Structure 1
Amino acid sequence: MMVQETDRMVVGRRFKMSALGADRCPELADRTGIVVHVSHSTTGITVLFDGARRPTVLHRDFISLV
């Protein structure tokens, strides 16, 4: 099975919180932003929420690409 381009974690892609992310981090449930760094050695994805000054690292299962 081939992974579609739209499913890849790529720097610059927009994201929203996934259902799991909203459940684990309810204060971030309605937030969106962009991916700023993808670690290939850990499960962390560095994101910048819209309106935020500093990036945040989240588990890759906590976000969904839009």
Structure 2
Amino acid sequence: MDWDANRIAVGTRFKINKLGAVRCPNLADKIGIVVGLSRRTTGITVLFDGDRRPTCLHMGYISSSSE
């Protein structure tokens, strides 16, 4: 994913992309919101709809829900 073009930021709605669905099949149909970005690693903290606690994922596993 080209992060310069898509600009994932805190508050962005997202869905799990094809790579994320292959690597984490239990998350394949989930949608949520970005709650934190790491400046040093490729980690991204997300809160899935209906969950109480955030989850940390690799940035390459999500895409903007507007795509």
Is TM-score (shorter-chain normalized) higher than 0.5? yes
Unpaired stretches in structure 1, ≥5 consecutive residues: none
Give the aligned partner of residue 57 of structure 2: 58
CA distance in 1, matches of 2:44, 2:7: 12
Name the SS of the counterpart of 1:47 in structure 2: strand
Q: Runs of 4 or more off by more than 3 Å in structure 1?
A: none
**Root-mean-square deviation (Å):** 0.8
TM-score by length of 2: 0.89
* CA shift for structure 1 position 9: 1.4
Unpaired stretches in structure 2, ≥5 consecutive residues: none
CA distance in 1, matches of 2:45, 2:8: 11
Structure 1 position 39 matched with structure 2 position 28: no
Is the radius of gyration larger for structure 1 or structure 2? 1
Percent of aligned positions that are identical: 61
TM-score by length of 1: 0.90
Structure 1 position 20 matched with structure 2 position 26: no
CA distance in 1, matches of 2:37, 2:64: 13
CA distance in 2, matches of 1:36, 1:59: 14
CA distance in 1, matches of 2:9, 2:42: 14
